Each structure stands twice: as C-alpha cells, then as structure tokens.
Structure 1
Amino acid sequence: MAPLSKRLFAEAFGTFWLVFGGCGSAVLAAAFPALGIGFAGVALAFGLTVLTMAYSIGHISGCHLNPAVTAGLWAGGRFPAGEIIPYWIAQVIGATFAAALLLCIASGKPGFELAANGLAVNGYGAMSPGGYSLYACFLTEVVLTLGFLVVILGSTDTRAPSGFAPIAIGLALTLIHLISIPVTNTSVNPARSLGPALFVGGVALQQVWFFWAAPLIGGLLGGIVYRFVAGNPPAPPVVGEEQLH
C-alpha cells in the first residue's frame, strides 16, 4: 500500500482530472456552436475521466475521487474511518484547482461572463437545468449515488470478473449523467459540486450543502446495501493494488 501522502496526492490529481475533464467538456465543448458534443458527450466525458483514472491511480489510492464514494466504501467495510477526512480534503483541493483552471481558460474567450449557472454548477429549483424541485433532485441524487456505490463495490469485489472494474465504474457514471443532467446537472459527488460553486458563488454556493447531503446519504446507503447483499467473505480494502485485483 502506498504511503498516505502519495495516496492523497493521487486523489487530488484524480479529482482534478474528473472535474476538469467532465465540467470542462460542459463549459468548453458542449455549447460550441459548430462542434458541440451535447449532454450525451458530457456524460461520456465524465465516465471517461473515472475510467482513465481508475486504471492510472486505482493501484495507488483506490481512485475514489468523490467524498460520497469514500464514505460509501467505509460503510461497505472497505475503507478505514481515520482516513476519510484526509481523502475528502484532497478531493476538494483537486476539484477546486480544476474549477480555477477551467475559469481561467473559459475567460480567455472574448465576451465571456461568469453566469449564475456557469462552470457546470449543480442546482435544484430554479438552478436545475429542467426546473426540478428540491424533492425530485434529492431522490435523484440519493438513488443514483446509491447505485454508483453498488457498482463500485460489486465490480471491485474479489468474486467479480478480474480487471473490468474501471470499465463498469466509468460506464455507470456515464449512465448516471445521461439520467440526471436535466435534473441537477449531475453531482453524485460533493467535491465536484463544491469546486465550481466556490467560483460562481451566489445561489450555486448557497445550494452546495444539498450536493453534500444527498450524495453522502446515497453513498452510505449504497455501502450498507451492498454489504448486506454480498455477505461474506468481504472483499479486501479498496486502497491500493487490491482495487483492480
């Protein structure tokens, strides 16, 4: 197992890659008049960031890239409680640096103005892309994060087919975005929500509590559900080389 300092650096870099790649595709590519990739392209971009990082740093840090995943892995018996907060801090740092870089690049276009829903921030109510209510957004974020954790825990279980976990996890995140971009602009990741909101401010920052609460609830439930369904023997901790077994 890699030292904690190296695992935290890997988590920060991996979360940077996720936010810069995923949110960057939404901010820089999806709205481009001639070559826009659309929301399906954004969904694929988020999935590809996780897939590529899982193969790159999964053997170092476990490639959580998401406070809800870290919490869910703890609930599923795969991660020590004492390292949750350090992982969360590293993930938030990575997401914040990614949002800062994305803002610097986006502002290089003439006439750029940072809108209230800029940098692909998440939101409910008036901030929801489709105008969905807080209740609908809460259900969406909880259920999809729960499902994401079940996929992560199941695909990295030692009883699962070996070596395919990153593909399953990346495709799961793509599916999650295809479902929920119109609802919340898709969070399922508190760090991904906080990074852009810190720079947009206003209502986006006021609503960011929601995108910590709902994904964390979903992540914890996902860990509990998988642990109940899978039973024994427990899979090894998803911290280091064991993730891709």
Structure 2
Amino acid sequence: MKKLIAEFIGTLWLVLGGCGSAVLAAGFPELGIGFLGVALAFGLSVLTMVYAIGHISGCHLNPAVSIGLWIGGRFDAKDLIPYIIAQVLGGIAGAGILYLIAIGKAGASIGSFAANGFGEHSPGGYNMTAALVSEIVMTFMFLIVILGSTHKNAPKGFAGIAIGLTLTLIHLISIPVTNTSVNPARSTSQALFVGDWALGQLWLFWIAPIIGAIIAGLVYKNLLSSPEKQ
C-alpha cells in the first residue's frame, strides 16, 4: 500500500507540474517559458519524484514504464495492475487540482487542457501515423534510459538526473507532434476533463506508449543488458 500511495502522489505531481506549466504558464508570453519551459517542468517533476519516492515504489509514475520494467525483468507481474490503477488515479487527482486552479479567474476556459492529440488536435498539425511513430519511439528511448540508468552496474545516484533530462528531451522533440504523452496515465487524466475529441483519440496514447515500452523491455533484456543479474 505504501508503494501505491507513493505512485499516486508521484503521478499527481507529474501531471500538476508538467501539465500545470502548460495550462497556467505557457500561454503568458511575459513569463517566457514556452515549449522549453513545459519540457523542463515535466523533466523536473520526474527528477524530483525519483529522489522523493524512488526508494519506496521505484517511481514509475507511468503505466508504460511499469509494463516495460516488467517485460525487462525488473518488476513483479503481481504488482502491475495495482501500480497502473494508482498511477491513473494519481493523474486524475493532479488534473482535478489543476482544473480547480485553472477555472479560478473570471472568464477562464481550460481550452485543450494540455491534452494529447493528433491531426487537427496536434500542436503542429501532425497526422495519426506521425503521432504513432513519435509516441512509440519516444517511449522506447525513455525505457532504454530508465532500464540502463537503474541497472546495478550503472553509476549510483544519477538515475534521476538521466531520467528527468531524457523526459525533457522527449518533450522538446515531440510536443509539436502530440503534445507529448509517453504516459497513458497523464493522457487519461487530461482527456477526462476535456472529453469529446480527447477521449476519442485517447486509444493512441495507451497503445503507442505500451508498444514502445514492450519493445524496449525486450531489447534491453535480450540485447543490451549485461549477462549478470539485473
């Protein structure tokens, strides 16, 4: 239960920090954060949680990460569904807090609420194929970094930095394509508040990250990991 509470809190913080920066700050030119600021906010959210709860739950914060770690032999199957439930609920809680803040001024509108999308709902107008490729590849690389930086032979104490910076880089690449998901819990939390098109396109932001995570788990387990115990 402590692990599940940690995953709930961590995913709440990821959504509130990352999506919050997009919803509350990115639209104000005088703040100057733009895509770079949003990308950093997502990276910092994960980096801070790695050191806050990593020793409790492993700090997955993402169903695709939990699945990839399971495929890669780093996570027990019996914990998979409880982790995913805790992550999705934590994301929804974070989005709920963000919603209450976002509507707290006269004439407020949540707009797209940092939801993920493709086609006319892609920030750069990218189609479904581009979105699928982007989400699969970005999640694949995210899991490769996670599996590598947390390996017992990796330098100790630096995994959080590597993982946080990787998520920042992923957002710098793919915000224009899909608003960057690589995380079904994060996508679900925002889509529930937007409804309509966001819920209609949510399937892609579950399927693509999970495919990328599974491929990464298989590749790392069979090709890249050392023959010693992981």
Task: Give TM-score, length-normalised by structure 1.
Answer: 0.92
Structure 1 stretches of 5 or more lacking a match?
A: 236-245
Q: Which residue of 2 aligns with 1:207?
A: 201
Size of the alignment, in residue pairs?
229
Q: Which residue of 2 aligns with 1:87?
A: 83
Q: Say which SS state the counterpart of residue 120 (structure 1) adopts.
A: coil
Q: Is the 8 A contact 2:22 2:38 kept in 1?
A: yes
Q: Which amino acid aligns with 1:70?
A: S
1:137-159 deviation line (CA, Å, top 9, x unaligned): 10000001000000000000011
Q: Say which SS state the counterpart of residue 86 (structure 2) adopts.
A: helix
Structure 1 residue ranges (4+ consecutive) displaced by more than 2 angstroms after TM superposition: none
Cα distance between partner residues in 2 of 1:75 and 1:30? 36
Q: Which residue of 2 aligns with 1:99?
A: 95
Q: Which residue of 2 aligns with 1:230?
A: 225
Task: Give TM-score, length-normalised by structure 2.
Answer: 0.98
Q: Any residues of structure 2 matched to 1:20-59 within 5 Å, and which?
A: 20-59=16-55
Cα distance between partner residues in 2 of 1:109 and 1:43? 25
Q: Which amino acid aligns with 1:137?
A: A
Cα distance between partner residues in 1 of 2:143 and 2:29? 36
Cα distance between partner residues in 2 of 1:35 and 1:18? 21
Cα distance between partner residues in 2 of 1:102 and 1:163? 31
Q: Which amino acid aligns with 2:228?
A: P
Q: Which residue of 1 aligns with 2:13?
A: 17
Q: Say which SS state the counterpart of residue 202 (structure 2) adopts.
A: coil
Q: Are 1:154 and 2:148 matched, yes or no?
A: yes
Q: Which amino acid aligns with 1:212?
A: W
Report the alpha carbon displacement of residue 104 of structure 1 after superposing the two structures with TM: 0.6
Q: Say which SS state the counterpart of residue 17 (structure 1) adopts.
A: helix
Residue identity (%): 63
Report the alpha carbon displacement of residue 10 of structure 1 after superposing the two structures with TM: 0.1
Cα distance between partner residues in 1 of 2:29 and 2:99? 19
Report the alpha carbon displacement of residue 6 of structure 1 after superposing the two structures with TM: 0.3
Structure 2 stretches of 5 or more lacking a match?
A: none
Q: Which residue of 2 aligns with 1:137?
A: 131
1:62-119 deviation line (CA, Å, top 9, x unaligned): 000000000000010000111111000000000001111101101012111232x2x1
Cα distance between partner residues in 2 of 1:166 and 1:114? 31
Cα distance between partner residues in 2 of 1:142 and 1:85? 21
Cα distance between partner residues in 2 of 1:56 and 1:80? 22
Report the alpha carbon displacement of residue 36 of structure 1 after superposing the two structures with TM: 3.4
1:196 to 169, 190, 193: 190
1:185-222 deviation line (CA, Å, top 9, x unaligned): 00000000000100110000111111000000001111
Report the alpha carbon displacement of residue 33 of structure 1 after superposing the two structures with TM: 3.4
Cα distance between partner residues in 2 of 1:51 and 1:234? 26
1:125 to 104, 119, 132: 119
Cα distance between partner residues in 1 of 2:229 and 2:125? 42
1:112 to 93, 108, 112: 108
Q: Say which SS state the counterpart of residue 74 (structure 2) adopts.
A: coil
1:28-70 deviation line (CA, Å, top 9, x unaligned): 0111132131110000000000000000000000000000000
Q: Which amino acid aligns with 2:168?
A: T
